[in-house]
Structure 1
Amino acid sequence: MTALSSENCSFQHAWHQTKPALDVHCLLLLIILGKALSNILVLGLRRKDTCRSFMEYFCFSLAFVDLLVLVIISFLSYFRDFVVLGIRFTKYHICLLMQIVSFTYGFLHYPVCLVACIDYWLSLSRGIKHSSKWQRLLYFLTVLLTWISVLAYVLGDAAVSASLDTHRTHMQQCPSHVSTQSHWLSLAMLMVLFVAFLISWPEVVALIQAIRIASYKNEAILYFPFPPHCAYTVSSREALLPRLIVCFLGTWFPFVALQLLILSLGVEIPAYIEMNVPWLYFVNSFLIATVYWFNCHKLYLRDSTLPVDPFINWKCCFVPVHRLKQVERPISIIIC
Structure 2
Amino acid sequence: MAVMFWESWSFLHFQYGHIFQPSEPSRALLLIMLGKVLLNLFLLRIRRRNLRESFMVHFCISLALVDLVLLVTMFFIFYFQDFMIMGIRFTKYHICLLAQIMAVTYGVLHYPISLMTGLDYYLTITKASKSPNVCRRLLYIVTVILTWISVLCYVLTLPSNTVGLDNQLYNSGYQCPFYISSQSYWLSLGMLLIICLAFVLCWSEVVAMVQPLKLVLYKSETVLFFPHMPECSPRDCAKHFLTRLLVCFVGNWAPFVFLQMLIVLLDVQIPAYIEMNVPWLYFTNSFLIAVAYWVRRRQIELTEEVWDADPFVNWKFCFVPFHSQNADEKQKPTSEIVIC
TM over 0.5: yes
- CA separation in 2, counterparts of 1:314 and 1:212? 18
Q: How does 1:1-336 map to 2 (within 5 A)?
A: 20-125=21-126, 128-158=129-159, 173-214=175-216, 221-227=223-229, 229=231, 236-302=237-303, 304-306=305-307, 308-322=309-323, 328-329=326-327
**More helix per residue: 1 or 2?**
1
- CA separation in 1, counterparts of 2:30 and 2:316? 41
Distance 1:305 1:246, change over 3 A: closer
2:125 is paired with a residue of what secondary structure?
Answer: helix
Large movers: runs of 4+ above 6 Å: 169-172, 330-333
Distance 1:114 1:82, change over 3 A: same
- CA separation in 1, counterparts of 2:200 and 2:287? 17
Distance 1:162 1:263, change over 3 A: closer
Post-superposition shift, 1:107? 0.6
Post-superposition shift, 1:229? 4.7
Counting aligned pairs with the same residue, the percent is 49
- CA separation in 2, counterparts of 1:268 and 1:252? 22
- Give unpaired runs (5+ residues) of structure 1: 1-15
Deviation track 1:190-220 (CA, whole Å, cap 9, x = no partner) reads 0000110011111101111123345666666
Q: Which structure has the greater CA radius of gyration?
A: 1
Post-superposition shift, 1:329? 2.7
Post-superposition shift, 1:154? 1.0
Out of 144-153 and 23-32, give the one that drifted further. Answer: 144-153
Q: Residue 194 of structure 1 aligns to which amino acid in structure 2?
A: C
Q: Residue 131 of structure 2 aligns to which amino acid in structure 1?
A: H
Deviation track 1:303-326 (CA, whole Å, cap 9, x = no partner) reads 624451111111122221339xxx
- CA separation in 2, counterparts of 1:121 and 1:162? 33
1:268 is paired with a residue of what secondary structure?
Answer: coil
- CA separation in 2, counterparts of 1:332 and 1:78? 63
- CA separation in 2, counterparts of 1:265 and 1:194? 18
Out of 20-29 and 188-197, give the one that drifted further. Answer: 20-29
8 A contact 1:108–1:150 mirrored in 2: yes
Alignment length, in residue pairs?
315
Q: Residue 329 of structure 1 aligns to which amino acid in structure 2?
A: A
- CA separation in 2, counterparts of 1:217 and 1:153? 51
Post-superposition shift, 1:157? 2.7
1:255 is paired with a residue of what secondary structure?
Answer: helix
8 A contact 1:99–1:176 mirrored in 2: yes
- CA separation in 1, counterparts of 2:214 and 2:69? 44
- CA separation in 2, counterparts of 1:220 and 1:50? 23
- CA separation in 1, counterparts of 2:217 and 2:120? 30
1:320 is paired with a residue of what secondary structure?
Answer: coil
Distance 1:37 1:162, change over 3 A: closer
Out of 153-162 and 199-208, give the one that drifted further. Answer: 153-162
Q: Residue 312 of structure 2 aligns to which amino acid in structure 1?
A: F
Out of 218-227 and 134-143, give the one that drifted further. Answer: 218-227
What residue number does 1:12 align with? none
TM-score (normalizing by structure 2)? 0.83
Q: Residue 187 of structure 2 aligns to which amino acid in structure 1?
A: L
- Give unpaired runs (5+ residues) of structure 2: 1-17, 332-340
TM-score (normalizing by structure 1)? 0.84
- CA separation in 1, counterparts of 2:329 and 2:55? 35
